[in-house]
């Protein structure tokens, strides 16, 4: 009988000790926010364009963490979908065409002589990339622009253009060697050369 | 005899150096047009200093170094700047870059130079500044600014200064001829570098396939502490890390530079450029370039002005352009094919190879990897090219990076030995570029996220501040309300009790009409309490009206902010409204009021207000007209808007005018009427 009591007491003691430990740990090492959402947010392109139907990348990241489809981000395109699929261990889906298609990198450009200085685009820009004041000409800080085109719609005089970012020598890199080469047999090639 | 080490891997391609190294260096001559790119080095492009039409002298600075990693650019000859714009440059992308186009006048007139006979009279800092001003960038091929590289490392001293005269790539003999013919310049240049860095030892490394160069250097270096070391020929001994390994046995860790292990490598051509710049003050405006290949009739080495167009240069040496060979900038191992022959020679162009199909055939189609492992045997960086190939091909960039993709020096040894002729290096280049791009994009995304979050935080803070201000105002209003109510309630309660008293007495009097005593007392009470006079009643009415208005406003405010005081305010408002109604009724019942009500001068203040309004509107209209004139003169785009606004304002003025005239008419009528009313009243009363 005493053995049973001792055993029960020992177990209860252990349970209390570990319970207290776990309770302490859950408070002391509490993780703020949803770590998965944070990780997803890191993979999203941060254009804050809202094309996914959520007001920004973070809300979409949180939605994905809660089970929203991963194929709603046109600026991220295929690469983002692949990365998200790898992170969440789900099947990569093709990009949902409903939310727009994958375009190249864009940057907003204000036709400055047409700008009337209404500040509407400044209020629309999610990353404060437009500089200007009321009744003063506005301009886009190109290096900060994410190309989300949220400033285009509010402009009352339609003086904002989305132009593709031009390729420069500084960010050029080689193309894949097998990108557009036909796989042919060496002897065929020799024959071709002889024929020509 | 110095002990030499070996590096892993390496290959022995056919050298083919003899076709170009048998003739002395010849001047290439003055082309009819020079195209000088503003960026011929690694780092920031130089800042343009000239404009089209400017006369420039030979050696005049036309581009100023900007930023830490940058060098200046100079006019290669005297002449006129005819244009500044985008022009093809020797780059594998075939893209355009900003170039200064100079038409030579043939006078070769130098700009004033600042020579220095004895470099020891200058401090190392002054020497470095002169090297930067002279526009010297690494001439071995990479073009890293020499001044930046020559800065002694922050923590360690440079123990070994190495001059790289290895020139391991096939065909190229520019450094070979330079060392043979200008060995003294090389040695003197190295002495200047040694003066700046104060290294423990100075070594010039030369491959044993250049015996003449070795002999010339040994003669020139006699009496100095410079040691000429002969290395066995193997490609790529000229790679910086490989050369350091051979000469010192030190391995440079991944991601580090030779300076981190106390070694510094410079090219021999760079050393001569430093010598020229310090001793004669001459900036880097020409270089020695090898022109070779079976399609060139007179191959050899040429002293070429920077900016000389390739097609002009090839024409000078009898290039058979109708042949279908490849034209390569750099060597056959690491060079790239040129598609546009109008590109200029730059500071890093050490070789132009016009190869025939026979000597440099197009690579056969790639076949499947057979996992033979020959690439691993050849890799001088001790990487696993096969693994890197899989990862690069499958775009598994993270894994490729884990396999130290960025330690690849792109020497091409793996592709050279591959029996399946897989273009391995090309895959690595793509992977490197893609990784760099992704990193850049990630950085940009992080930056955008930060800005977005900061903006969100700012907007939240602004909203909060606004809310706080509003609440403060509402509270202040409520406070004032409460204090006012307290005042009025004390007054009101006295009035009320008196009224109730009177009413009670009236009732009792009605109940007992016969009760003379009570009636008398009531009459007495009424007599003793004279009816409130008209003035006080009116005042009360005004006060009550004012209070009611304020209360209603407070209630609205409270409702908007969902304050918990809504209910209290509501009841207070209701009671206030009742009080107001009562006072109004009392006033209406007052006998004197009936007479005066009609007699009060009607709408007096209204006319005044209307006149004021009209004046204001007219003033505004004037102002608008003035702005319209201004806008017409200065800002035509806003004219339409202002015109619209003026139209509206005109309407407003017209309305105000009409209202005023109506009010005036009414006022006249009413002031005219009272006698009639009075008479009517009199008539009514008379019967």
Confidence check: pLDDT of B515 > 80:
no
Determine the 3-state secondary structure of B526 from DSSP: helix
**Whether A173 and B97 lie within 8 Å, measured CB to CB:** no
The reported pLDDT for the residue numbered B504 is 82
Per-residue pLDDT reduced to its tens digit, B360-379: 888 888 888 999 999 999 99
Per-residue pLDDT reduced to its tens digit, B202-228: 999 999 999 999 999 999 999 999 999
The reported pLDDT for the residue numbered B681 is 40
Q: Give the helix ranges, DSSP H, for chain A.
A: 2-28, 35-43, 57-65, 77-88, 120-124, 186-195
Q: Which residue has the higher pLDDT, B290 or B596?
A: B290
**Whether A186 and B364 lie within 8 Å, measured CB to CB:** yes
Q: Where residue A180 falls among pLDDT bands split at 50, 70, 90?
A: very low
**Whether B423 and A177 lie within 8 Å, measured CB to CB:** yes
SS (H, E, C) B36-88: EECCCCCCCCCEECCCCCCEECECCEEEECCCCCCCCEECCCCEEEEEEEEEE
**Whether A173 and B446 lie within 8 Å, measured CB to CB:** no
Which residues fall within 8 angstroms of residue A170, CB to CB, at 6 or more apart?
none
Confidence check: pLDDT of A125 > 50:
yes
Per-residue pLDDT reduced to its tens digit, A29-82: 888 777 888 889 988 988 888 888 888 888 999 999 998 888 888 888 888 898
Confidence check: pLDDT of B523 > 60:
no
- Indicate the length of chain A as a whole number: 196
Question: Rounded to whole angstroms, how far apart are CA atoms B615 and B634?
Answer: 28
Which residues from chain B sit within 8 angstroms of residue A189, using beta carbons?
A: 364-365
- Give the distance from residue B368's alpha carbon to the nearest chain A alpha carbon, in angstroms: 11
Q: Rounded to the nearest 5°, which phi and psi values hold at B26?
A: -115, 145
Residue-wise burial string across A141-172, b where 16 or more C-beta atoms lie within 10 A, e elsewhere? eeebbbbbbbbeeebeeebbeeeeeeeeeeee
User: What angle is formed at CA B599 by the lines to CA B597 and CA B601, rounded to 5 degrees?
Assistant: 100
Closest partner residue to B445 among A45, A167, A176, by Cβ?
A45
Longest dimension (CA), chain A: 103
The reported pLDDT for the residue numbered B591 is 58
Which residues fall within 8 angstroms of residue A139, CB to CB, at 6 or more apart?
A110, A112, A130, A131, A132
Residue A180, chain B, CB below 8 Å: the answer is no
Which residues from chain B sit within 8 angstroms of residue A178, using beta carbons?
A: 366, 393
Q: Which residue has the tokens 């073009």?
A: B143
Closest partner residue to A169 among B91, B451, B452, by Cβ?
B91
Q: Is the peptide bond before B281 cis (omega within 30 degrees of 0)?
A: no
Confidence check: pLDDT of B677 > 70:
no
> Residues B219, B317: contact at Cβ < 8 Å?
no
**Whether A46 and B95 lie within 8 Å, measured CB to CB:** no
**What is the average pLDDT across B659-664?**
76
> Residues B413, B45: contact at Cβ < 8 Å?
no
Residue A175, chain B, CB below 8 Å: the answer is yes
The reported pLDDT for the residue numbered A1 is 84
Nearest to B550 by CA among B654, B479, B445: B479
**What is the average pLDDT across B460-484?**
94
Cα A143 to chain centroid, rounded? 18
Q: Which residue has the higher pLDDT, B150 or B362?
A: B150
Q: Where residue B33 falls among pLDDT bands split at 50, 70, 90?
A: very high
Nearest to B313 by CA among B327, B333, B334, B332: B327
- Give the distance from residue B324's alpha carbon to the nearest chain A alpha carbon, in angstroms: 12
**What is the average pLDDT across B664-670?**
62
Q: Which residue has the higher pLDDT, B586 or B513?
A: B586
> Residues B421, B363: contact at Cβ < 8 Å?
yes
**Whether B452 and A186 lie within 8 Å, measured CB to CB:** no
Q: Which residue has the higher pLDDT, B657 or B435?
A: B435
The reported pLDDT for the residue numbered A188 is 56
**Whether A173 and B451 lie within 8 Å, measured CB to CB:** no
Per-residue pLDDT reduced to its tens digit, B166-185: 999 999 999 999 999 999 99
User: Within 13 Å of residue B247, how many CA atoms lie on the same side as its CB?
Assistant: 34
Which residues from chain A sit within 8 angstroms of residue B415, using beta carbons?
A: none
Question: Rounded to whole angstroms, how far apart are CA atoms B168 and B351?
Answer: 13
Q: Which two tokens stand for residue B463?
A: 């909203």
Closest partner residue to B437 among A173, A175, A185, by Cβ?
A173
Q: Rounded to the nearest 5°, which phi and psi values hold at B113?
A: -110, 160
- DSSP letter at A176 equals P
Determine the 3-state secondary structure of B205 from DSSP: strand
**What is the average pLDDT across A100-129?**
89
**Whether A172 and B95 lie within 8 Å, measured CB to CB:** yes
CB pairs under 8 A between A and B: 81
The reported pLDDT for the residue numbered A97 is 80
Per-residue pLDDT reduced to its tens digit, B239-253: 999 999 999 999 999
**What is the average pLDDT across B539-543?**
79
Confidence check: pLDDT of B592 > 60:
no
> Residues B388, B414: contact at Cβ < 8 Å?
no
Question: Rounded to whole angstroms, how far apart are CA atoms B145 and B142?
Answer: 9
Residues of chain A above pLDDT 70, percent: 90
**E-strand stretches of B65-190:** 73-74, 79-88, 96-104, 160-165
Which residues from chain B sit within 8 angstroms of residue A141, using beta carbons?
A: none
CA A41, A45, A49, A51 dihedral sign is negative
Residues of chain B above pLDDT 90, percent: 53
**Whether B455 and A169 lie within 8 Å, measured CB to CB:** no
Q: Which residue has the higher pLDDT, B36 or B490?
A: B36
The reported pLDDT for the residue numbered B343 is 93
**What is the average pLDDT across B424-448?**
92
The reported pLDDT for the residue numbered B674 is 42
| Mean pLDDT, rounded, of chain B | 84
**B246-253: long-range contacts at Cβ-Cβ below 8 A with a sequence spacing of 24 or more?**
B246/B4, B246/B5, B246/B6, B246/B7, B246/B205, B247/B2, B247/B4, B247/B5, B247/B160, B247/B162, B247/B203, B247/B205, B248/B5, B248/B160, B249/B3, B249/B5
Tell me the Cα Rg of chain A: 28
Q: Which residue has the higher pLDDT, B535 or B77?
A: B77
**What is the average pLDDT across A144-172?**
88
């Amino acid at each position: 009988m005493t053995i049973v009591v001792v055993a029960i007491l020992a177990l209860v003691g252990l349970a209390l000790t570990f319970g207290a430990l776990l309770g302490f740990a859950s408070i002391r090492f509490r993780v703020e926010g949803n770590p998965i959402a944070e990780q997803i947010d890191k993979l999203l392109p941060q254009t804050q364009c809202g094309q996914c139907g959520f007001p920004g990348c973070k809300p979409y990241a949180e939605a994905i963490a809660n089970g929203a489809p991963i194929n709603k981000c046109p600026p991220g395109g295929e690469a983002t979908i692949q990365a998200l699929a790898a992170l969440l261990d789900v099947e990569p889906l093709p990009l949902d065409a409903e939310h727009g298609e994958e375009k190249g990198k864009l940057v907003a450009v204000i036709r400055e002589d047409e700008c009337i200085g209404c500040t509407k685009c400044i209020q629309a820009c999610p990353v404060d990339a437009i500089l200007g004041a009321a009744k003063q000409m506005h301009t886009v800080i190109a290096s900060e622009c994410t190309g989300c085109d949220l400033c285009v719609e509010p402009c009352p005089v339609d003086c904002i253009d989305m132009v593709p970012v031009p390729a420069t020598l500084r960010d050029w890199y080689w193309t894949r060697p097998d990108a557009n080469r036909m796989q042919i047999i060496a002897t065929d090639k020799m024959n071709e050369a002889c024929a020509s | 005899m110095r002990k030499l080490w070996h590096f892993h891997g390496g290959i022995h391609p056919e050298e083919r150096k003899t076709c170009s190294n048998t003739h002395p260096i010849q001047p290439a001559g003055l082309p009819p047009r020079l195209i000088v790119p503003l960026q011929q080095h690694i780092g920031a492009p130089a800042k343009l200093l000239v404009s089209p039409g400017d006369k420039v002298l030979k050696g005049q600075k036309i581009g100023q170094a900007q930023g830490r990693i940058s060098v200046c650019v100079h006019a290669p000859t005297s002449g006129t700047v005819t244009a500044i714009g985008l022009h093809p440059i020797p780059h594998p992308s075939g893209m355009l870059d900003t170039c200064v186009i100079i038409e030579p006048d043939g006078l070769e007139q130098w700009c004033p130079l600042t020579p220095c006979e004895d470099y020891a009279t200058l401090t190392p800092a002054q020497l470095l500044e002169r090297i930067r001003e002279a526009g010297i960038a690494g001439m071995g091929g990479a073009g890293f600014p020499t001044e930046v590289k020559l800065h002694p490392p922050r923590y360690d001293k440079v123990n070994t200064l190495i001059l790289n005269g290895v020139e391991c790539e096939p065909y190229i003999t520019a450094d070979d001829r330079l060392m043979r013919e200008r060995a003294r310049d090389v040695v003197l240049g190295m002495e200047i570098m040694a003066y700046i860095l104060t290294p423990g030892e100075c070594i010039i490394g030369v491959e044993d396939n250049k015996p003449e160069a070795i002999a010339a250097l040994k003669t020139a270096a006699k009496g100095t502490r410079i040691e000429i070391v002969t290395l066995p020929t193997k490609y790529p001994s000229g790679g910086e890390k490989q050369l350091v390994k051979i000469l010192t046995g030190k391995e440079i860790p991944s991601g580090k530079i030779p300076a981190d292990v106390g070694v510094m490598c410079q090219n021999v051509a760079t050393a001569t450029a430093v010598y020229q710049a310090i001793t004669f003050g001459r900036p880097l405006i020409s270089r020695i370039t090898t022109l070779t290949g079976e399609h060139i009739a007179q191959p050899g080495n040429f002293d070429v002005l920077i900016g000389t167009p390739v097609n002009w240069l090839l024409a000078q040496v009898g290039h058979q352009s109708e042949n279908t060979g490849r034209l390569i900038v750099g060597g056959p191992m690491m060079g790239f094919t040129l598609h546009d022959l109008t590109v200029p020679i730059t500071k890093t162009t050490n070789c132009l190879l016009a190869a025939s199909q026979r000597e440099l055939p197009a690579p056969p189609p790639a076949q499947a990897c057979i996992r033979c492992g020959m690439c691993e045997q050849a890799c001088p960086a001790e990487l696993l090219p096969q693994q890197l190939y899989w990862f690069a091909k499958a775009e598994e960039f993270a894994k490729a990076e884990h396999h130290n993709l960025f330690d690849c020096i792109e020497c091409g040894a793996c592709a050279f030995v591959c029996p399946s002729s897989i273009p391995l290096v090309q895959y690595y280049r793509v992977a490197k570029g893609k990784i760099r791009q992704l990193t850049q994009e990630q950085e940009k995304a992080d930056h955008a996220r930060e800005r977005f979050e900061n903006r969100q935080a700012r907007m939240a803070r602004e909203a909060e501040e606004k809310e706080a201000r509003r609440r403060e105002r509402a509270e202040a209003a409520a406070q004032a309300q409460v204090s006012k109510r307290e005042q009025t309630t004390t007054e009101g309660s006295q009035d009320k009790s008196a009224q109730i008293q009177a009413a009670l007495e009236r009732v009792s009097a009605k109940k007992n009409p016969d009760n003379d005593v009570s009636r008398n007392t009531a009459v007495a009470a009424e007599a003793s309490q004279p009816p409130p006079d008209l003035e006080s009643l009116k005042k009360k009415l005004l006060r009550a009206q004012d209070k009611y208005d304020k209360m209603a406003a407070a209630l609205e405010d409270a409702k908007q902010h969902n304050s918990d005081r809504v209910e209290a305010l509501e009841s207070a408002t209701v009671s206030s409204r009742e009080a107001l109604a009562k006072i109004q009724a009392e006033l209406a019942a007052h006998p004197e009021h009936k007479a005066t009500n009609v007699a009060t001068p009607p709408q007096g203040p209204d006319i005044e207000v209307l006149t004021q309004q009209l004046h204001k509107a007219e003033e505004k209209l004037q102002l608008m007209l003035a702005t319209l004139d201004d806008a017409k003169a200065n800002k035509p785009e806003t004219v339409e808007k202002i015109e619209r606004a003026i139209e509206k304002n005109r309407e407003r003025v017209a309305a105000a005018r009409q209202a005023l005239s109506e009010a005036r008419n009414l006022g006249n009528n009413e002031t005219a009427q009272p006698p009639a009313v009075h008479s009517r009243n009199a008539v009514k009363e008379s019967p």
